[in-house]
A and B are shown apart, each in its own frame.
Chain A
Amino acid sequence: MGTHAAYRVRGLTKTYRGGTTPANSAVDLDVPRGEIFGVLGPNGAGKTTLVRQLVGLVRPDAGEISLLGHDVVADRRIASRLVAYLAQDEPALAELDVRRAIETTGRLRGLSRRAAGAATDELLDELGLAGLADRPLTRLSGGQRRLACVGSALVADRAILILDEPTTGLDPVARRAVWSAIGRRRAATGTTVVLVTHNVLEAETVLDRVAVIDRGRVIACDTPGGLKAAVDDSIRIGLVWSHEPPYDDSLVESLAQTAAVDGRRWSVRIERNRARDVLDRLTQAPLFDALEDYTVSTPSLEDVYLSLGGTRPDMERL
Chain B
Amino acid sequence: MRAAASMVGHTTPVAAASEPGPTVSLPAAVGAVAAGQLARVRVARGPLLVVATVQSLGLVILLRGIVRRHDAATAAAVVAGSTILVVAFVALNLLAQRLGALKASNALDYYAALPVSPVAVVLGTAASYATFTVPGVLVTALVGAAVYGLPMAHLWLVVPAAVTAALGLAGVGALLGLLLPRPELATIAGQLGMTAVLFLGLIPVGHLPAVIRGLRLLLPGMLSVDAVVDGLRPGTPWLDAVVRLAIAAAYGALALGLAGLAMRKAVDR
Q: Which residues of A contact B (CB under 8 A)?
A: 1-2, 16-17, 33, 52, 55-59, 68, 70, 77-83, 85, 87, 89-93, 95-97, 100-101, 104-105, 107-112, 114-115, 118-119, 122, 156-159, 188-191
Which residues on the B side are within 8 Å of A59 (C-beta)? 268
Residue contact B29 to A108, C-beta cutoff 8 Å: yes
Given A55-B113, A57-B268, A96-B39, do A81 and B22 touch, yes or no (CB 8 Å)?
yes
Given contacts A91-B107, A104-B35, contact A115 B115 (CB under 8 A): no
B113 engages A57 (CB within 8 Å): yes
Residues of B near A104 (CB, < 8 A) are 32-33, 35-36
Pairwise interchain contact A1-B7, C-beta atoms closer than 8 A? no
Q: Which of B1-26 contact A (CB under 8 A)?
A: 1, 3-5, 7-8, 10, 12-15, 17-24
A114 to chain B, nearest CB (A): 8
> Nearest residue in A to B38 (C-beta to C-beta)?
A100
Q: Which residues on A sit within 8 Å (CB–CB) of B115? A: 77, 80-81, 108-110
Contact between chains at A100 and B24 (CB < 8 Å):
no
Chain A residues near B19: list those with CB within 8 A.
Answer: 1
Q: 20 more A-B contacts (CB under 8 A) besides A110-B115, A114-B8?
A: A1-B19, A16-B269, A56-B112, A77-B115, A78-B20, A81-B23, A82-B21, A83-B113, A91-B107, A92-B102, A95-B40, A97-B39, A100-B36, A108-B29, A108-B32, A108-B115, A109-B115, A110-B24, A111-B8, A156-B21
Given A1-B19, A105-B114, A115-B8, also A57-B109 (CB < 8 A): yes
Closest 5 pairs (CB-CB, A-B): A92-B110, A81-B20, A107-B32, A92-B107, A104-B36
Given contacts A58-B268, A110-B7, contact A93 B110 (CB under 8 A): yes
Are the C-beta atoms of A191 and B36 separated by less than 8 Å?
A: no
Which residues on B are within 8 Å of A, measured CB to CB?
Answer: 1, 3-5, 7-8, 10, 12-15, 17-24, 28-29, 31-33, 35-36, 39-40, 102, 105-116, 267-269
Cα–Cα, bound, A240→B37 (Å): 53
A contact residues around B8 at 8 Å (CB): 111-112, 114-115, 118
A55 to B115, alpha carbons, bound, how many Å? Answer: 11
Question: A105 CA to B110 CA in the complex, in Å?
Answer: 9
Residue of B nearest to A99 (CB): B39
Among residues of B, the one whose C-beta sits closest to the C-beta of A58 is B268
Q: How far is the CA of A159 from the CA of B20 in the complex (A)?
A: 9
Residues of B within 8 A of A114 (CB): 8
A82-B114 contact, Cβ under 8 Å, with A112-B4, A115-B7 = no
Q: How far is the CA of A78 from the CA of B5 in the complex (A)?
A: 20
Most chain A CB atoms below 10 A, which of B5, B106, B109: B109
The total number of A-B Cβ pairs within 8 Å is 134
A302 → B minimal CB distance (Å): 28
- How distant is A178 from chain B, measured CB to nearest CB, in Å? 18
In chain B, what residue has the closest Cβ to A88?
A: B106
Nearest CB of A to B152, in Å: 39
A159: which B residues are within 8 A, CB to CB? 17-18
A sample of 5 cross-chain residue pairs with beta-carbon separation below 8 angstroms, ordered by A number, consists of A33-B18, A108-B115, A109-B21, A110-B22, A115-B8
Complex contact B114–A109 (CB within 8 A): yes
For B267, the closest partner residue in chain A by CB is: A57
Task: Specify which of A57, A101, A111, A157 is in contact with B4 (CB 8 Å cutoff).
Answer: A111
The residues of B that contact A58 with a CB separation of less than 8 Å are 267-268
Query: Which of B3, B19, B31 has the most chain A CB atoms inside 10 A of its CB?
Result: B19
Residues in A neighbouring B40, C-beta threshold 8 A: 95-96
Smallest Cβ-Cβ distance to B24: which chain A residue? A110
Is A108 within 8 A of B114, CB to CB? yes
Chain A residues with CB under 8 Å of B267's CB are 57-58
Contact at A110–B23, with CB atoms within 8 Å? yes
Bound CA span A118–B33, Å: 19
Known A-B contacts A93-B110, A95-B40, A189-B13; A1 and B18 likewise in contact (beta carbons under 8 Å): yes
Complex interface: chain B residues within 8 A of A55 (CB) = 113
Residue of B with least CB distance to A106? B32
CB distance B1 to A110 under 8 Å? yes
- In the bound complex, residues from chain A placing their C-beta under 8 Å from that of B17 are 157-159, 189-191
Q: Is the CB of A158 within 8 A of B12?
A: no
A80 and B105 CA atoms in complex are apart in Å by 21
Determine which of A2, A93, A107, A156 lies in contact with B28 in the assembled complex, contact meaning CB atoms within 8 Å: A107
Quote the shortest CB–CB distance from A66 to chain B (angstroms).
Answer: 13
Whether B39 contacts A87 by the Cβ 8 Å rule is no
- Looking at the assembled complex, report how far the CB atom of A166 sits from the nearest CB atom of chain B, in whole angstroms: 15
- Inter-chain CA distance A142–B33, complex, in Å, is 24
- A166, B18: Cα distance in complex, Å: 22
Residues of A within 8 A of B109 (CB): 52, 57, 85, 87, 92
Question: Which of B15, B33, B110 is A2 in contact with, Cβ under 8 Å?
Answer: B15
Residue of B with least CB distance to A116: B32
Question: Which chain A positions have C-beta within 8 A of B114?
Answer: 80, 105, 108-109
Report how far A104 CA is from B268 CA in the complex, Å. 24
Closest partner residue, chain A, to B116 (CB atom): A108
Q: Residue B110 contacts which of A78, A90, A97 (CB distance < 8 angstroms)?
A: A90
Q: Is the CB of B4 within 8 A of A115?
A: yes
* A191 neighbours in B (Cβ, 8 Å): 17
When distances are taken between beta carbons in the complex, the residues of chain B under 8 Å from A16 are 269
Q: A57-B113, A97-B39, A108-B33 are in contact. Are A81 and B4 (CB under 8 A)?
A: no
